[in-house]
Amino acid sequence: MRLVFMGTPDFSVPALHALHEAGHEIVAVYSQPPRPAGRGKALRPSPVQQAAEALGLCVRHPVSLRNKPEEWQAFADLNADVAIVAAYGLILPQPMLDAPRLGCLNIHASLLPRWRGASPVQSAILAGDTQSGVTIMQMEAGLDTGPMLLREAVPLTPQTTASTLHDTLSALGASMVVRILAHTPARLPTPHPQPEDGVTYAPRLTRDDGRIDWQQSADAIDRRIRALTPWPGTFTTLADGTVLKIGAAQPDPDMPASADPGTIVDDRLSVACGDGTIRLTRLQRPGKGMMEAEAFLRGQPLPAGTHLGTPHD
């Protein structure tokens, strides 16, 4: 088929590669513009732009598509059979949704209608879901509301992290979209409306979402750490305001909370929670890299009785 691909982050790259390897004609790739990055703040192209250019594909990166009829016409002039969208980052106006012969398909990292929105990977882990997955849907004007062409699930375990789930769903989405397009060029599989029941929304995350609230249960804190690492990252503070980033932790079901929430209760960085105890296993202090707890404690001892978090945590 004659395709347009639209995506920006690492999540989208496997789908681009899979479509290229399947022999589809990718007439253009749309991605977010290069952004300042690193200490020198030099402009860095997105992962999708880098992958597309390595494949010799034409890349476009408009800053905005809203009220841009010239962009809409340029998109329509590509005469694409279908556009594949995977974490692109810009809302497609209706003229662009209508331009490809078979419309625009979105690779969404959740089992719709659960976790529509910006952070489906993290939200599934935060909520303690037992499964996640990928939905290929026909795009329409609403936020992730379009009818579904294909939907496949993967299990979530107590060890699942945002990083591992991201990679699993990225690979799954690439496989699914290739299978979708293997149908006859004249049409796609028949889409089915999303159920009206079970709709939830995954909000856009901010840095403050990573603040550990020690009043929560050990299991909830563990899910937050697994869901929000590496971005936006989870953190707590010492009494002097020093920020400690938390990279990994392990709930201890055999150790009930024996102190006020946020209190370190032993020499292994076990912390009392609102319900239960959790042991911090990877930490980072300002100006240092993330390290295992044993190495961290050699540089900054945190004895039993140390309180983590602000008085409001």
Residue-wise pLDDT tens digits, 84-140 = 999 999 999 999 999 999 999 999 999 999 999 999 999 999 999 999 999 999 999
The fold of 2-202 is: Rossmann fold (3.40.50)
**What's the N-to-C CA distance of the chain in angstroms?**
54
Q: Is 181 annotated as a binding residue?
A: no
Note the pTM of the prediction, 2 decimals. 0.94
Calculate helix-pair angle for 218-228, 162-181, nearest 10 degrees: 60
Q: Is 45 labelled as part of a ligand binding site? A: no
Q: Are 218 and 273 in contact (CB under 8 A)?
A: yes
pLDDT tens over the chain, length 313 residues: 999 999 999 999 999 999 999 999 999 999 999 998 877 888 999 999 999 999 999 999 999 999 999 999 999 999 999 999 999 999 999 999 999 999 999 999 999 999 999 999 999 999 999 999 999 999 999 999 999 999 999 999 999 999 999 999 999 999 999 999 997 666 788 999 999 999 999 999 999 999 999 999 999 999 999 999 999 999 999 999 999 999 999 998 777 777 999 999 999 999 999 999 999 999 999 999 999 999 999 999 999 999 999 754 4
Task: Work out the number of other CB atoms within 10 angstroms of the CB of residue 79.
Answer: 11
Q: Is 150 annotated as a binding residue?
A: no
Hey, where are the domains in the chain? Answer: 2-202, 207-299
Q: CATH assignment of 207-299, given 3.90.79.10, 3.10.25.10, 1.20.1260.10, 1.10.3720.10?
A: 3.10.25.10
3-state secondary structure of 156: coil
Q: Confirm or deny that 126 is annotated as ligand binding.
A: no
Q: Contact at 8 Å (CB) between 57 and 25?
A: no
